[in-house]
Amino acid sequence: MTMVSRVKPDLEFIKELQQVGGENVKKCFQCATCSVVCPLSPMDKSFPRKEMIWAQWGLKDKLVNDIDMWLCHKCGQCSEMCPRGAKPGELMAALRNMAYRNLTGPSFLGKWMSSIKHLPKLIAIPAIIYLIIWFITGSICGSAFPLKDGHVEYSLIFPGDYTIDPIFGLAAIFVIWSFYKGIMRLKEVFDTQPKTFVVGYTRPKTIWHALYEVIKDEVLTHKKFKDCGEEEDDQLKFKGHLTLFYGFAALFVVTAIVAFTHWAGRILPFFHMGYPMPLYNPVKLLANVGAILLIIGLINLTKRRLNESKKDASTYYDWYLLGLIWVVALSGILSEVLRWANIAGLAYLAYYIHLVSVFMLIAYLPWSKLGHLVYRVFALAYARMIGRVSTEVDEQKNKLFVI
């Protein structure tokens, strides 16, 4: 006797998916062109065709448990080649946007990050915090700019020990805990995925081995982005992401060194570094190199976003993150230049904007597109653990079996 399975579409899920970038999903007529042209899709149960089916039918349970949406790097070849303009790449991005909103709490932050109408609220939180601090320190010093003309010292307005390190330290703890909860939720979902076997391919023994392989083979080289195509648009994406990544890495190292030497210097004077650092200081040089890399990456990615393309349409998630990083980079550079020039009024304003934007970048990280630095890396590592490898590996290893 044939078993009949009744499909129960989630209409609200379909509407939500369309709102975050999947508005063209209904155009798909299942020709499978998208899966054929994708350079990253595995041969077995390839994406994004099956995701298009699930989305059309509103099969929320299948989509939210899908590891493949994290394996897609949104190269856009599927959207470019789609004969119906259904834009499968946009659907995969929309699924990730929904995941950023719902992987971890508090839920209101996910909601606020999803729409431009909530942007003033996101700005207001750090803006009010640092305005209050500015008012208090200015009152103590007797002026909003308590220094003689022609001299700028940010620590008198925003003392690091009391107004920067504690606030950003708490924000970092909050973000780490939120990412932990998000990863645990992903792991719970991924544990239901079937394991596969590829002839000649040895799965990593542990998640730590898999993470090491992913970081070495993909994160540090951005190889998947490079494999997506050789057109100018593809190269802008590859170069933009790579330089932005190393720019952030350089600035992270600088921040870690500054924090360590500052607090360690309280105990062991040997570690103490004078501030502000001279331009020839190696740490300062690394910071400026990081800032330059950020600007180069931002120019490439902004140019790519401004180019109208069938491959990759832009969403609010894209522009929010790109715009925020521009503000972080430019306000940081201006803070340094205006301090050199001793233009107090503009210097303090630039530094205030820098603090607000950096807070937004860090504190809202798990709900922004930049969260893929954690979630996608974990998903790629888990995919290696279960043998969910790309077409490139499938072709090299001859055949794929599901076990």
Range of the domain at 92: 11-102
Give domain status of residue 391, yes or no: no
Give domain status of residue 394, yes or no: no
Give domain status of residue 2, yes or no: no
Q: How many Å apart are CA 299 and CA 141, to the nearest integer?
A: 41
Written as one string, the DSSP assignment of 199-255 is TT-PPPSSHHHHHHHHIIIIITT-HHHHHT--SHHHHHHHHHHHHHHHHHHHHHHHH
- Report the pLDDT value the prediction gives residue 215, as an integer from 0 to 100: 92
- Report the pLDDT value the prediction gives residue 397, as an integer from 0 to 100: 37
Q: How many Å apart are CA 242 and CA 223, to the nearest integer?
A: 10
DSSP SS3 for 109: helix
In a shared domain, residues 228 and 289: yes
In a shared domain, residues 278 and 244: yes
**Cβ-Cβ contacts under 8 Å for 84 (sequence gap 6 or more):** 27, 28, 29, 31
C-beta neighbour count of 351 within 10 angstroms: 22
In a shared domain, residues 121 and 255: yes
In a shared domain, residues 155 and 16: no
In a shared domain, residues 250 and 368: yes
The domain boundary, picked from 102, 125, 145, lies at 102
Give domain status of residue 403, yes or no: no
Q: What is the CATH number of the domain that holds 27?
A: 1.10.1060.10
- Report the pLDDT value the prediction gives residue 398, as an integer from 0 to 100: 40
Tokens, residue 355:
């603090």
In a shared domain, residues 169 and 194: yes
Q: How many Å apart are CA 237 and CA 240, to the nearest integer?
A: 5
Per-residue pLDDT of the chain (403 residues; tens, 9 = 90+): 566 566 677 777 877 777 777 778 888 888 889 888 888 887 777 898 998 888 888 888 888 888 888 888 888 888 888 888 888 888 888 888 888 888 888 888 888 988 899 999 999 999 999 999 988 887 665 555 555 556 788 888 888 788 888 999 999 999 999 999 999 999 998 888 777 766 667 788 889 999 999 999 888 988 877 777 667 777 888 888 999 999 999 999 999 988 888 887 777 777 777 777 777 889 899 999 999 999 999 999 998 888 755 566 678 888 999 999 999 999 999 999 998 888 888 888 999 999 999 999 999 999 998 888 899 999 999 988 888 876 444 444 344 433 3
**SS percent in the chain: helix, strand, coil, step 5:** 70, 0, 30
Strands (E), 96-202: 196-198
Q: How many domains does the chain have?
A: 2
In a shared domain, residues 219 and 182: yes
In a shared domain, residues 90 and 115: no
Give domain status of residue 390, yes or no: no
C-beta neighbour count of 162 within 10 angstroms: 12
Longest pairwise C-alpha distance within the chain: 90
Give domain status of residue 397, yes or no: no
Tokens, residue 300:
């490439």
In a shared domain, residues 28 and 163: no
- Report the pLDDT value the prediction gives residue 310, as an integer from 0 to 100: 54
In a shared domain, residues 172 and 271: yes
Give domain status of residue 47, yes or no: yes
In a shared domain, residues 218 and 338: yes
Could you tell me where the DSSP H helices lie in 38-105?
49-56, 60-64, 68-71, 77-81, 88-102
In a shared domain, residues 51 and 33: yes
The domain boundary, picked from 102, 125, 150, lies at 102
Q: How many Å apart are CA 347 and CA 153, to the nearest integer?
A: 9
Over its C-alpha atoms, the chain yields an Rg (Å, rounded) of: 24
Q: How many Å apart are CA 92 and CA 21, to the nearest integer?
A: 9
Give domain status of residue 79, yes or no: yes
- Report the pLDDT value the prediction gives residue 350, as an integer from 0 to 100: 94
- Report the pLDDT value the prediction gives residue 280, as an integer from 0 to 100: 83
| CA neighbor of 125 nearest in space, from 318, 363, 368 | 363
The domain boundary, picked from 68, 87, 102, lies at 102
